[in-house]
Amino acid sequence: MSVDTIHCLCNIISPCRNELATTFILVQWLVTAISTILNTVRPVLSFFGIRAQVELNEEDYNDTWMYMPDGDGQPQVAYLIEPPPEDNRNEVPQIIQFEYYGSSNPSEPVVSNVWLNEEGITRHKRDTWEEMAEKFNPALDTKILVHGWKSSTQSNSIQSIRGGYIKRGHVNVFAINWRDQADNIYYLRPARYTVQVGRAVAKLIDLLVEEKNADPKRIHLIGHSLGSHIMGYAGSYTKYRVSRITGLDPARPAFEDCIGPENHLDHTDAEFVDVIHSCAGYLGFKNPIGHADFYPNGGSPPQPGCSEIGQIFTGCSHGRSYEYYAESINSDKGFYALPCTSLFDIKGNNCTGDKILMGDPIPHTAQGIYYLKTSDKPSFALGMI
């Protein structure tokens, strides 16, 4: 199955926010029927010593498998096909965790377990929710963070950003832990869970507004990779329009070629959506999808597959997006970016105009495509050069 085929099937393999049309329901039925036949045939083939498996052949790279970094930036093999029927990870626990870090005791979060269903949440333990709600301060800004594939709230993608905000102080920080669903080498399975986790985050927002008088205009959602799309779903499903969503290299496989913005993070999901594309066109989205989209050039040898993407520009790595963002929270120099009229201007080095800051301090009036250079190691920010 080619990547293009995977992308074209995204309305089937990855749940979407819109209701499935009759055509998609029919296709879903056909896919299920074919899968049932394969489930019957495979044991017979296995009996004769013919075993279906994913071979890591170089010619199949970016087709049936690819390397993706986990939440600590370590490369892992991800299979871009459906798991075999004998895969023993069919039953994934339908539990995620809300972790609240307050400024008064930032090292020990208050944790609330949430049980998921297709609508995103069934129930949560009232006692832990009440403890969390008691510590929440509606007078402060609220940051809600979510990780991506093969990650957790203990991964660098979350801890680096959480640490930056706790260092600044005077802020509510939530981290959404969906590690049990995200930890699967068959990438399409975690991709399916993004909509359910997004609904759960939307429910958290609704509870904060309705039970704790939180101001949705002070709520900011931040997600890395698959987490970017989780936050897109959250912004779409919540009853209250949040002020900002930041997408950190939104995951591309199974999402970018989905028809309609309702299938992935986009500019309609919040009052302001900013995106950092650090591995654009490969692991992350190539095309702009926010109000303001930033394309950094890290200057270092790029992660495999992230260089000269689409013959447009040189990127760096999937994980650099959250590293840049985390540094931007308390940076003295700042990440200053130039406006561009198109992605092709980046390749031609034709971006000119007034620079703006990328990352946490971005002005919410920013619109369009931006390009910037960074250092190849911390601190990454080069300031106003």
**Residue 107 in this model has a pLDDT that exceeds 80:** no
Query: Does residue 220 carry a catalytic annotation?
Result: no
Told to judge if 318 belongs to the known catalytic residues of this protein, a careful annotator would answer: yes
So what's the pLDDT on residue 120? 63
Q: What is the pLDDT of residues 202-231, one digit of tens each?
A: 999 999 999 999 999 999 999 999 999 999
Q: Where are the beta strands (DSSP E) in 57-214?
A: 65-69, 75-79, 95-101, 110-115, 123-124, 141-146, 171-177
Helices (H), 48-84: none
Residue 264 falls in the annotated catalytic set: no
What pLDDT score was predicted for residue 309? Answer: 38
For domain 95-372, give the CATH number: 3.40.50.1820
- pTM passes above 0.95: no
Taking CA atoms, 136 is separated from 111, 143, 170, 363, in Å, by: 13, 12, 11, 26
Catalytic residue among 112, 225, 236, 317: 225
Tell which wins on pLDDT, 103 or 147.
147
* pLDDT digit string, tens, across residues 330-368: 999 999 999 999 988 888 788 999 999 999 999 999 999
Among residues 147, 155, 249, 266, the one annotated as catalytic is 249
Distance, in Å, from the CA atom of 334 to the CA atom of 1, rounded to the nearest integer, reads: 43
More confident residue, 298 or 44: 298
Higher-pLDDT residue of 275 and 259 is 275
Q: How confident is the model at residue 16 (pLDDT cuts 50, 70, 90)?
A: very low
| CA distances (Å), origin 372, targets 29, 267, 295, 338, 357 | 47, 21, 7, 6, 10
How crowded is residue 240: how many other Cβ atoms within 10 Å of its Cβ?
16
Map out the domains of the chain as residue ranges.
95-372
Residue scoring higher pLDDT (118 or 268): 268
The active-site residue out of 318, 321, 328, 345 is 318
For 126-149, how does the pLDDT look when each residue is reduced to its tens digit (9 = 90+)?
667 788 888 999 999 999 999 999
